[in-house]
Amino acid sequence: MCRRRGGLLHRVAEGDLKLLTPLDHLTLYQWNTKTAKDYFCPVCGIQPFRRPRTAPEQWTVNVRCLEGVDLEAIPRKYVHGSELSTVHDV
């Protein structure tokens, strides 16, 4: 995720995420291998969660979308997405 977007991401197992909004009420974006699935709010455009390419059996949650979370209390590991490997179709 681009640093300019400002997402604070945390991966969780399938059974640890309870969705209150049905997936078909969100906008799905996929590219390249179509393994990753990015879900967006069709009204405001925020990306609350995604299925990552590197672990499609998990969810990556944008913690900034959760109410009542003290963002300053969360330890962070900074990842530079531009330095991660990419998958190209051959």
pLDDT tens-digit map of 69-90: 999 998 887 777 666 655 444 3
Question: Does 90 fall in a domain?
Answer: no
- Can you tell me whether residue 16 is helix, strand or coil? helix
Question: Does 79 fall in a domain?
Answer: no
Q: Which two tokens stand for residue 64?
A: 């900034």
Q: Which residue has the higher pLDDT, 12 or 80?
A: 12
Question: Does 82 fall in a domain?
Answer: no
* CA atoms lying within 13 Å on the CB side of residue 62: 18
Domain that holds residue 56: 9-69
Question: Does 27 fall in a domain?
Answer: yes
Bridge partners of residue 66, in order along the sequence: none
Model pLDDT, residue 75: 86
Long-range contact set of residues 86-90: C-beta below 8 Å, sequence gap at least 24: 86/32, 87/32, 87/33, 87/53, 88/32, 89/32, 89/33
Question: Does 39 fall in a domain?
Answer: yes
